[in-house]
């Protein structure tokens, strides 16, 4: 506790020096305000919280005290004067100053009343202002955290981040300080308990067109055993064959909505239109029905727990086939004429398109941007190397995810287990692509 206090005090001093050096007061625009925490003292407890915004008028507090003392003295003087006049009036009933004393007595009573009113108002307004100031600071910090998009400039040169270190241990954080979720980096009971109190709804979109409906039963049954167990989950299933949707018993506060969509003769077209469907669903329904949304591939199965540790503003998952590959070998779109183009010298990770998630508004922005880029490419008869996955990787390169899921959250059944992947939570099943896809 002592070390924490020392660090917080040092951070406060550094912030003051920074603001003084830049000749700016500590205000909401101060660049260190969102990440700084100081000790807030109160009369009954010590709490840790965001910094209070320093008053740009340093004499405001002194003025309040002076006004308080002035009103207090005026009230006392008025009451004493009133008592003296009462005595004078009783001892000198026929005095020629009687009229003057009566007027003075009335004036003093009025002054005493006004003074008392001023004292009450000053005390109330001070408390109210302090409360509003604290609430404003809390709301400012929360709003900054929720809206702090991690945007990176294009063309920036830096070392490719690693997923596994030289010692063979997994790397738990990205270079932009977003966590990479691995087994052992979180407490399942604790993280679920924290988010369960917030009474959230997790929307989950799934696309099952054509023969892909055969994967629905395993997907839904395994999800009910492992996916956000104990949370309110709403599945939105896009399919061209509603009659092929299997009967699966859902848990309490979990529901399935089937949305019919046109079929297609090209699996690439089905993939390309997923972002558009997700964007429109968020606009029409999810903005009012959910807090978080995940879009998952249907030809998959859950093998282990997937819970609140995966929640965040914007979520991407590292592709299991490329997490130890040099970025020059990533299957990015390499044609400059495509909107999904990524130069060979750039790239963090290769993200799998089978999983995208986050807050509804942030997933909406990602889906909308990808859909717009897809439309631009389509107008020029360009189809990116891996359709929406290529555009998603372009988006994540310059709009960093706030949390990255390790390959535990997207494996492939045909791949053998590795030393760094301790548990497989979600995996793409083995299938004959020629048998399930409408075209090669």
Among residues 333, 388, 389, 408, the one annotated as catalytic is 389
Q: Could you tell me if 112 and 75 are in contact, meaning their C-beta atoms sit under 8 angstroms apart?
A: yes
3-class secondary-structure state, position 109: helix
Report the Cα 360 to chain-centroid distance in Å. 10
- Residue ranges, the chain, pLDDT below 50: 1-60, 127-147
* Interstrand relation of 38-41 and 292-297 (parallel, antiparallel or unpaired): unpaired
Quote the pLDDT of residue 175: 97
**Residue 299 annotated as binding site:** yes
Written as six digits, the tokens of 411 are 């494996």
> Catalytic residue at 389?
yes
Quote the pLDDT of residue 297: 96
pLDDT in tens, 183-218: 999 999 999 999 999 999 999 999 999 999 999 999
Cα separation of 67 and 266, whole Å?
78
Quote the pLDDT of residue 105: 63
Q: Could you tell me if 324 and 421 are in contact, meaning their C-beta atoms sit under 8 angstroms apart?
A: no
Non-local (6+) Cβ contacts of 172 within 8 A are: 179, 180, 182, 185
Q: Could you tell me if 88 and 108 are in contact, meaning their C-beta atoms sit under 8 angstroms apart?
A: no
**Residue 234 annotated as binding site:** no
pTM for the structure as a whole: 0.69
Cα separation of 206 and 239, whole Å?
9
Quote the pLDDT of residue 118: 65
C-alpha Rg value of the chain to the nearest Å: 32
Cα separation of 54 and 60, whole Å?
11
**Residue 389 annotated as binding site:** yes
Closest CA to 15 of 37, 46, 43: 37
Cα separation of 186 and 352, whole Å?
22
**Residue 153 neighbours by CB distance under 10 Å:** 6
């Amino acid at each position: 506790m002592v070390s924490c206090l020392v660090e917080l005090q040092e951070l406060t001093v550094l912030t003051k020096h920074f603001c003084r050096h830049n000749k700016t007061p500590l205000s909401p625009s101060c660049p260190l305000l969102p990440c700084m925490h100081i000790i807030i003292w109160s009369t009954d407890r010590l709490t840790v919280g965001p910094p209070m915004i320093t008053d740009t008028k340093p004499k405001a507090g002194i003025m309040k005290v002076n006004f308080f003392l002035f009103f207090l003295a005026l009230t006392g003087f008025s009451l004493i004067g009133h008592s003296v006049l009462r005595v004078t009036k009783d001892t000198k009933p026929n005095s020629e100053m009687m009229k003057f004393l009566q007027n003075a007595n009335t004036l003093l009573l009025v002054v005493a009343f006004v003074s008392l009113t001023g004292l009450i108002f000053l005390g109330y307004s001070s408390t109210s202002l302090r409360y509003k100031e604290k609430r404003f600071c809390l709301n400012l910090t929360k709003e900054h955290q929720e809206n702090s998009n991690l945007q990176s400039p294009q063309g920036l040169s830096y070392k490719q981040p690693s997923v596994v270190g030289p010692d063979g241990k997994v790397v738990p954080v990205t270079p932009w300080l977003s966590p990479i979720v691995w087994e052992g980096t979180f407490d399942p009971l604790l993280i679920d308990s924290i988010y369960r109190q917030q009474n959230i709804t997790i929307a989950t979109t799934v696309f099952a067109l054509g023969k892909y409906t055969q994967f629905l039963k395993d997907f839904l049954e395994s999800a009910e055993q492992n996916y956000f167990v104990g949370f309110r989950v709403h599945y939105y299933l896009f399919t061209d064959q509603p009659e092929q949707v299997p009967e699966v018993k859902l848990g309490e506060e979990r529901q399935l909505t089937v949305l019919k969509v046109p079929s297609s003769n090209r699996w690439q077209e089905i993939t390309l239109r997923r972002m558009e469907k997700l964007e429109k669903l968020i606009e029409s329904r999810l903005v009012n029905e959910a807090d978080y949304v995940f879009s998952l591939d249907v030809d998959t199965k859950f093998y282990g727990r997937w819970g609140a540790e995966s929640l965040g503003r914007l979520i991407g998952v590292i592709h299991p086939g490329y997490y130890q590959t040099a970025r020059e070998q990533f299957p990015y779109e390499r044609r400059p004429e495509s909107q999904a183009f990524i130069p060979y010298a750039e790239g963090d990770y290769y993200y799998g398109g089978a999983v995208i998630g986050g807050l509804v508004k942030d997933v909406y922005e990602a889906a909308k941007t990808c859909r717009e880029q897809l439309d631009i490419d389509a107008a020029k008869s360009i189809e990116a190397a891996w359709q929406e996955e290529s555009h998603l990787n372009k988006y994540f390169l310059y709009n960093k995810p706030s949390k990255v899921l390790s390959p535990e959250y997207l494996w492939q059944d045909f791949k053998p287990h590795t030393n760094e992947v301790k548990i497989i939570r979600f995996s793409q099943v083995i299938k004959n692509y020629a048998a399930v896809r409408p075209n090669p």
